[in-house]
Chain A
Amino acid sequence: MMKRDEMLKAFLRHRKDEIVVPVYTAAQEITHLAPSDLNYTFVGAMGQGSSHALGLALGRPDKRVVVFDGDGSLLMNLGSLVTIANQAPKNYVHCLCENGCYETNGSVPIPRAGQIRFAELAKGAGYRKTYEISELAEWERLLPQILKEEGPLFVDLKVEAGDEAYPENFQRLYSFEYREKFRQALAKS
């Protein structure tokens, strides 16, 4: 099991110019750890991150799009696995922060916490390749490969909350102004 913030810090060490679509706690942590106009946090409703990312990936096939989804969120939009696989964007990396609970909503466990094979669901839906990673060293080792191989990829990351509490900045997450900054930055990128 990885600490989520350590997992994200490892990703950020390898990040170049990817569009990153983090949801909920991952969004709070990434925008705090590595502010960037290419952080897309404007998902608007639970479960929708993977679908926003699909629109971005189809609209900008030249840019890699990395989603940090939640397991509760994905359960709310499981059909998106099929929609994404059907479109098969080569630039799509679907990372799942599997913590087994609705952390933002009181840490209540998800149904069948710890017993769902999310990577198998993605594989069955038609993702090109899937990973299950529970060790930080393995994540760090595989990151260069994951950030360049052909997608759509699905990466089930077994995580738990880190030791540090990060400030919540909902203004940043849902701001229209930041959304416009994102559009401008992406247009230039």
Chain B
Amino acid sequence: MSDYPLRAEAIKNQFKRAGIHFVVALPDRVTSHHLLKGLLADPDYHVVQVCKEDEGVSICSGLYAAGHKSVFMMQYTGFLDSINAIRGVGVEGRFPVCMIVGLLGKEPDVAPTQSKKFGVKIIEPILDVMGIEHRLIERDADTEQIAPVIEKTFKNSFPTAILIGREPR
């Protein structure tokens, strides 16, 4: 376990570093077990569980309008399902929604665009066409990018995506 490349704790530390209290989430098989369950059990975080991903985009936006930063965790399938809300609320409405997206089924150390999973392969091109900046997180060292991306989301008042390329443990 000690040489496992990505720790859930390293991601959680970045949320803390960015001053995140609210986490909006729908369970994602990549991050559920070690990250989301840990957040649910941690009194420092208020986890808002949603039934559908587009709700999450809007809840994060309402929280922002009320003066709070949040992140929004989901599986890539949920990202695809909530494209219209991300388009209308996030991109056109310029609400800062930082999406933490699990790439279920992505092969380790393979670029998402080279994945054999069709759904995984199309995520980055969709983000690019929407003008949404994204980062791939596969190792502990990559997690150092998370807090700066969260900060940039709110500074620019525009969505960003942090793609989780393997299960954090």
With CB as the reference atom, state the residue of chain B lying closest to A87: B48
Which residues in A have their C-beta under 8 angstroms from that of B88? 44-45, 48
Cα A80 to Cα B57 with chains together (Å): 12
Which residues in A have their C-beta under 8 angstroms from that of B57? 48, 51
- CB-contact partner of B66 in A48, A60, A79, A179, under 8 A: A60
Cα A57 to Cα B46 with chains together (Å): 14
Cα A183 to Cα B84 with chains together (Å): 24
Cα A79 to Cα B67 with chains together (Å): 25
Q: Is the interface of B mostly helix, strand, loop or mixed?
A: helix
Which residues in A have their C-beta under 8 angstroms from that of B46? 58
- The interface on chain B, measured as residues whose beta carbon lies within 8 A of the other chain's beta carbons, has a size of 33
Which residues in A have their C-beta under 8 angstroms from that of B45? none
- CB-contact partner of B55 in A44, A56, A77, A176, under 8 A: A77
- Render A53-84 as a binary contact track against B, CB cut-off 8 A, 1 for contact: 11111111000000000000000010110110
Closest 7 CB pairs of A and B: A55-B62, A59-B66, A79-B51, A44-B89, A51-B58, A44-B88, A45-B88
Given A51-B50, A186-B67, 9 extra CB contacts under 8 A: A42-B93, A45-B88, A45-B89, A48-B55, A51-B55, A79-B50, A80-B55, A87-B48, A176-B93
